Chain A
Amino acid sequence: QVQLVQSGAEVKKPGASVKVSCKASGYTFTSYGISWVRQAPGQGLEWMGWISAYNGNTNYAQKLQGRVTMTTDTSTSTAYMELRSLRSDDTAVYYCARVGGYQLLRFDYWGQGTLVTVSS
């Protein structure tokens, strides 16, 4: 069965970086992409970007350009999302989701989420 298992909660200081992992199993990793979505406390979902596990192509949300990097390690079927220069408004639950189909527009399986808290 398809599973996406994310790394554990993180507490970071403003200005620091965080790297969240998303380990995939139960499918051919390179046949899909991974999208990252975050949700601030009590707020809605925000799309952050995607990465193709096939060729490493990425597409990031404009507001995060320059601060976010998404990568994959095909040897371990793991996707990573690194966010730099953290601010308090980056405090959120970060989710990975498998995406496939045309332009990687078909969302299906989701990870359990990783809480990132940014606080001095």
Chain B
Amino acid sequence: QTVVTQEPSLTVSPGGTVTLTCASSTGAVTSGYYPNWFQQKPGQAPRALIYSTSNKHSWTPARFSGSLLGGKAALTLSGVQPEDEAEYYCLLYYGGARVFGGGTKLTVL
């Protein structure tokens, strides 16, 4: 069974920079896994942030960026705002199936 692993929790100070990662149990994550990233706040539906590794939607704030880093997919927030406190999920493509990571709870403190 394929497992996608994210940091369970991270803490960042307002204005700081933080990188969330997304690893695959099958090996290095490449662009062929078409990583998507989502933000979810309590009681709300998820919101799409990034698709195909690094592409932003029209509503994605400029401070969010996606990349590949050390064999993982990565989401970097630069100049973190208090409203960025949320759960973040990645999604990877496995030749048909898609698998979500377990999520990272980001605290802005």
Contacts and interface: CB of A to CB of B under 8 A. Distances in A.
Interface of A: 35, 37, 44-47, 50, 59, 61-62, 95, 97, 101-103, 105-113
- Chain B interface bracket (under 10, 10 to 19, 20 to 34, 35 or more): 20 to 34
B100 interface: yes
Contacts of B77: none
Interface stretch (B21-29, B65-73, B78-86, B90-98): B90-98
Contacts of A108: 48, 51, 57
Interface of B: 34, 36, 38, 40, 45-48, 51-52, 55, 57, 89, 91, 93, 96-103
A46 B100 contact: yes
B45 A45 contact: no
Contacts of B36: 105-107
Contact of B52 (A46, A101, A110, A113): A101
Contacts of A113: 45
A103 B93 CA distance: 9
Sorted from nearest, which 8 A-B pairs have the closest CB atoms? A105-B34, A106-B51, A47-B98, A45-B100, A110-B45, A44-B103, A107-B48, A44-B102
